[in-house]
Structure 1
Amino acid sequence: MNGSAALYRTRIRHVRTEPVHNAFRYRSYSWFVDLDALPRLPWWLRPFAGFRAEDHLEAGAGRTLRGRVDAVLAAHDIDLRGGQITALMNARVVGYVFNPLSLFWCHDTDGDLRCVLAEVHNTYGGRHCYLVRTDRNGRAETDKRFYVSPFNEVDGVYSMRLTEPADVLDVRVVLHRYGRAPFAATMRGRRRPATTANVVCALLAAPLAPLVVAARIRVQGIRLWARGVPIAPRPATEEKERAP
């Protein structure tokens, strides 16, 4: 297996403060990979950890994940000239993948970080990519432009902490609206090399992780609906892209 890949056994927490308080947490795991050196797993593990270009970014932009990221960057007049792109994402497990948030750190040939792509998926099959430029502490802000939850309208500003992970992963996204913070999500974990043994341990600790994560989000939505939280209508102009 490629030695540059790593796993993070994660602790994920979501907190909603308005119009009702609702918080939940769960454990999962994420892959951290170099897009030019994706992991090569033993044949018997491949059904449980697959990476496909069509699971991310714009349809038709490229046959590889690297090509799709480069296409997004080119649309913003950014050319890495072959610099490294690292990514934090979930893999396909038995043919299914769900990436609430995928992150791509885009470096030039000098190793300098040019920008971060933060791609959000919702449970309706839609996706949206935010290109942000972080400060030296990994912080950035961007307007919310995508319908993620039926209980949150498409307005407000995200503040993000997107430091590229090393030994420790610590990602934070907070939605700000009218001087308040109605929603926050954190993802934390420690790095482990993506050895065959560690991959098997992650699969056993969080079996069928993408399916379970999607199910948890839907269960929380049902609970909010049962508590009378109003549903925000989906915008008619919602950006929605399905894999080809």
Structure 2
Amino acid sequence: MEALDLLFSITSTFFTSLALSLLLVFRTLFTRRPSSTIHSNAVSLYQGTVWHERRRPVHHSFLYSVRYALFDLDHAHAPPDHLSADEARQVAQTTGPVFLLTIPPSVGYEQNPLSLYYCYDMDGSARLLKKCIAEVTNTPWGERVVFIFYPNSDVVAKPLHVSPFMDMLGNWNIKANDPTDSLSVFISVQHPELGDYFVASLKAKRLSSVSDHAMFFWLMPHKVALWIYWHALKLWWKNVHFIQHPGYTNPTYREEAMIRDKKLQCNQALAWDRGNCLQADGHHLGNLADRKRWFKWRDAKRPWC
């Protein structure tokens, strides 16, 4: 059934994107006004690279160029299927501006393995990046998890099956800077057996001016999908063990991820307050209000629009 869904996705996306690409080219050639639907004063455009490196059990790495949009959610509508500014503030418990970093849909297709919300508090006239919200989507299975992390550096128990070549064990070490003229996001996977065996990064620079946003992002989501599936095929060719989605064999994998994360938070809290977290059994973890995690799992919108 999954193979049929994937085949339908590829076929539908091909014909939809082909038709919309021809329409986009026609509008670009024969109209003076750009075909952008993004208000230029409320969005910043970034161009950069994504790098992945798997160190064990075999070495595999790749680098590709990407284009992102950073939406000021208080002054622009985000692409469909994302949080609004007020929803993000409620989740992060912040009071200042909210920005969303994502790849907008292009010619009928959307592909966002990771989108980030930057949530600020205000200190007088200055804004301070307080928390980030990660939105991770595993496209083949149509799932999404949303969670809070602290941008300077944080460790989160892996809450989602994002690759058929990685199990659910291990933690995500994640950090992100305050996006200005440049932005960066770093993620490493800490595994109990393989150690720090996977690293990924996004580095990008803000562009000063782009006249046509639709052409700027043309086929960008398709390129991301192509790289993901192509390198999954290469890992399979290298005989990396294929791992079935845990939902088929372990219906409580999400609850177990939350328990692992609570233990992580407890261990971090013990480093600065040994009066808290007297137990680390996943049920009675003491007072962690200052570092309260929030997870939400849900079905993700299918990549074709």
Distance in 2 between residues matched to 1:120 and 1:193, nearest whole Å: 28
Partner of 1:188: 203
Distance in 2 between residues matched to 1:214 and 1:242, nearest whole Å: 16
Partner of 2:15: none
Q: Which runs of 4+ in 1 moved over 6 A?
A: none
TM-score by length of 1: 0.78
Deviation digits for residues 106-127 of structure 1, max 9, x if unmatched?
A: 1134433331101111122211
Task: Show the 5 A alignment for 1:161-176.
Answer: 161-176=175-190
Letter in 1 for 2:301: A
Distance in 1 between residues matched to 2:164 and 2:68, nearest whole Å: 25
Question: 163, 173, 176: which is aligned to 1:149?
Answer: 163
Residues 102 and 120 of structure 1 are in contact (CA less than 8 Å); yes or no, is this contact kept in structure 2?
yes
Task: Show the 5 A alignment for 1:191-202.
Answer: 191-193=206-208, 195-196=210-211, 199=213, 202=216
- Match of 2:40, SS state, is coil
- Match of 2:299, SS state, is coil
Residues 33 and 87 of structure 1 are in contact (CA less than 8 Å); yes or no, is this contact kept in structure 2?
yes
Distance in 1 between residues matched to 2:67 and 2:40, nearest whole Å: 18
Residues 2 and 38 of structure 1 are in contact (CA less than 8 Å); yes or no, is this contact kept in structure 2?
no
Distance in 1 between residues matched to 2:202 and 2:102, nearest whole Å: 12
Deviation digits for residues 25-72 of structure 1, max 9, x if unmatched?
A: 111100112111227xxxxxxxxxxx4332x36xxxxxxx22442453
Deviation digits for residues 95-153 of structure 1, max 9, x if unmatched?
A: 2111111110111344333311011111222111121123xxx2222111110000001
- Match of 1:37, SS state, is coil
Structure 1 residue 4, shift from structure 2 partner: 3.8
Structure 1 residue 223, shift from structure 2 partner: 1.2
**What is the RMSD computed on CA atoms of the aligned residues?**
2.2
Question: 230, 239, 242: which is aligned to 2:241?
Answer: 230
Structure 2 unaligned spans of 5+: 1-38, 255-296
Q: How many residues align?
A: 212
Deviation digits for residues 183-202 of structure 1, max 9, x if unmatched?
A: 111111111145425x3673
Question: 217, 222, 229: which is aligned to 1:211?
Answer: 222
Asked which structure has the greater CA Rg, the reply is 2
Question: 74, 79, 83: which is aligned to 1:52?
Answer: 79
Greater displacement, 214-223 / 187-196:
187-196
Distance in 1 between residues matched to 2:173 and 2:72, nearest whole Å: 26
- Match of 2:139, SS state, is coil
- Match of 1:223, SS state, is helix
Distance in 2 between residues matched to 1:31 and 1:25, nearest whole Å: 20
Determine which structure has greater relative contact order: mean sequence separation of CA pairs < 8 Å that are 6+ residues apart, divided by chain length: 1
Are residues 169 and 201 of structure 1, via their aligned partners in 2, closer, same or farther at CA, if it must alter by over 3 Å?
A: farther
1:22 aligns with 2:60: yes
Partner of 1:11: 49
Residues 45 and 67 of structure 2 are in contact (CA less than 8 Å); yes or no, is this contact kept in structure 1?
yes
Distance in 2 between residues matched to 1:228 and 1:38, nearest whole Å: 46
Residues 172 and 186 of structure 1 are in contact (CA less than 8 Å); yes or no, is this contact kept in structure 2?
yes
Question: 132, 143, 147: which is aligned to 1:130?
Answer: 147
Residues 98 and 118 of structure 2 are in contact (CA less than 8 Å); yes or no, is this contact kept in structure 1?
yes
Letter in 1 for 2:198: F
Distance in 2 between residues matched to 1:218 and 1:35, nearest whole Å: 31
Question: 102, 117, 125: which is aligned to 1:104?
Answer: 117
- Match of 1:181, SS state, is strand
Letter in 2 for 1:104: Y
TM-score by length of 2: 0.64
Structure 1 residue 19, shift from structure 2 partner: 1.3
Question: 74, 85, 94: which is aligned to 1:66?
Answer: 85
Structure 1 unaligned spans of 5+: 40-50, 58-64
Distance in 1 between residues matched to 2:184 and 2:40, nearest whole Å: 24
Are residues 32 and 52 of structure 1, via their aligned partners in 2, closer, same or farther at CA, if it must alter by over 3 Å?
A: closer
